[in-house]
A and B are shown apart, each in its own frame.
Chain A
Amino acid sequence: MGKWDWQVFLEDPGGKIPTYWQWLVSAWGWTVSVSLCSLVVALLLGSLVGVIRTLPDSPWLVRFGNAWVELFRNVPLLVQIFLWYHVVPKMFPVMAGLPPFILVVFALGFFTSARIAEQLRSGIQALPKGQRYAGMAVGFTTPQYYRYVILPMAYRIIIPPLTSESMNIFKNSSVAFAVSIPEMIQFAMQAGEETSRVTEMYMAVTVLYVISAMVINRIMAWVEKRVRVPGFVVAGTGGGGH
């Protein structure tokens, strides 16, 4: 390996971007935007599917929700990304013109939605049944008691698993390298090859991943603190005794 040579980051990769460190920053930007957009898709879809799976008296919707979760949980993310990138645009001509970025966001978003749906379902089921009945008893419709009674509590319960899922989505965005999204892994592989300074490139990317993970962790801890309802603890959901 020899000695470090960090000045390699000041060299010119010979493209549109003047230096390697600026390329790294742009790659980090791609990682962040893929992750955040996928997180939005995953939260929306995951909430919808998670709610569907807990609806009373709608067995077909529940079955659909369960099938959704099983489908997206039992196929590796890499395969799902290849399907969205290579197969979906050919099968559905409507999707043919979509940029790869959108396709990868869908892939990662749908993949993660299954996990979030599963967490939200168990969050909702962890609530005492009485809350649902109370909502019904005061005359709320089903959408109303979900909106005003169940979901506000369920989302608070699942903040810890959502935290790790947000960190996972960040890590999983790395799989997008396989379909030429210029995110950090792609950068590490290409810049490493061009400069033969593979260790330095990997180090920089690794450090950025670790920093990003810590930042998300802090943000979610802050969110958890902000939305806490004093004195509210649901039995059996807190990890470890407290």
Chain B
Amino acid sequence: MNLDLTFFSWAVVSSFLLKGLYFSVFLTVVATLGGIFFGTLLALMRLSGKKWLDMPAAIYVNGMRSIPLVMVILWFFLLVPNIIGRPIGPEYSAVITFVAFEAAYFSEIMRAGIQSIPRGQVFAGMAVGMTYGQNMKLVILPQAFRNMLPVLLTQTIILFQDTSLVYAIGAYDLFKGFDTAGKNFGRPEEAYLLAAVVYFVLCYSLSWLVKRLHKKIAIIR
């Protein structure tokens, strides 16, 4: 097979890829922030020691984790318009899906992070008269975040790769950009190869950064 990469010009990048890249990055950032927020809430529910909080959170987290992401994407695309009563585009649906789905994964990371803080610190916080909320906000969570930062970032890289699965509902992300460009120019093979190269470069550089950060944090501790 002869590879012909001549179709790959700035015009292709600006008209097909940038829009997709923008959405992939947007989806990753929103899903990470939202996922960590709701994931932390879920983790607190699971560690609360109260059954009526722990049980629904556990069912949610384990349920999400035992279904393939593609299935979850399809479910949300079916259900969300039904719940809010009007049709929404695949892009909005993808954002809601990823926040909800990643919350389950981030909650497991945060749970491990909170549990990595010695019990003595919880007691110390209580002993100086802090409420549960103050204790969490001022003592436990900041340390848990820092301990778990490399894991959280690694999960973000996985999340970035997983955003390509919005292909199932036809949302326009980075991969869809390559897909469309390849089909339009009759060069799908080259487009898929380029897609692989671009994803590799992005994810490899990110994981290299995470590794460096990990070393830095390890020294501070």
Contacts and interface: CB of A to CB of B under 8 A. Distances in A.
Interface of A: 1, 70-71, 73-80, 82-83, 86-87, 90-91, 167, 171-175, 177-178, 185, 188-189, 198-199, 202, 205-206, 209-210, 213-214, 239-240
Nearest to A174: B68
A198 B67 contact: no
Contact of B66 (A1, A74, A87, A210): A210
B199 to A, nearest CB: 5
Given A71-B200, A206-B75, A185 B168 contact: yes
Contacts of A205: 71
A188 B175 contact: no
B116 to A, nearest CB: 10
A185 B70 CA distance: 8
Given A178-B167, A202-B78, A79 B199 contact: yes
Contact of B82 (A1, A87, A206): A1
Contacts of A199: 78
A75 B188 CA distance: 17
Contacts of B112: 239
Interface in B58-79: 63, 66-71, 74-75, 78
A229 B175 CA distance: 47
A74 B189 contact: no
Contacts of B175: 76, 78-79
Contacts of B67: 171, 206, 209-210
Given A74-B204, A198-B78, A206 B189 contact: no
B154 to A, nearest CB: 10
Given A83-B196, A175-B70, A199-B78, 18 more contacts: A70-B204, A74-B161, A74-B204, A75-B161, A75-B200, A76-B164, A77-B161, A78-B175, A87-B192, A90-B189, A175-B165, A188-B71, A202-B75, A202-B78, A205-B71, A206-B71, A213-B66, A240-B115
A83 B69 CA distance: 21
B68 A209 contact: yes
B11 interface: no
B192 A79 contact: yes
B207 interface: yes
A218 to B, nearest CB: 13
A74 B70 contact: no
Q: Which 9 A-B pairs have the closest CB atoms?
A: A174-B68, A74-B203, A76-B161, A171-B68, A213-B66, A76-B164, A90-B1, A78-B164, A174-B70
Nearest to B182: A86
B189 to A, nearest CB: 5
Interface residues of B, number: 32
Nearest to B161: A76
B29 interface: no
23 contacts: A70-B204, A71-B200, A75-B161, A76-B161, A76-B164, A76-B199, A78-B164, A78-B167, A79-B175, A79-B196, A83-B192, A83-B196, A87-B193, A167-B66, A171-B67, A171-B68, A173-B68, A177-B168, A198-B78, A202-B75, A210-B67, A213-B66, A240-B115
Contacts of A198: 78
A79 B164 contact: yes
Contacts of B1: 90-91
Contacts of A174: 68-71
A67 B130 CA distance: 50
A185 B71 contact: yes
A38 B91 CA distance: 31
Given A75-B203, A79-B196, A86 B189 contact: yes
A74 B200 CA distance: 5
B98 to A, nearest CB: 14
Contacts of A239: 112
For B78, B195, B196, B203, which residue has the most chain A Cβ atoms within 10 angstroms? B196
B192 A82 contact: yes
A120 to B, nearest CB: 19
A75 B71 contact: no
A90 B167 CA distance: 23
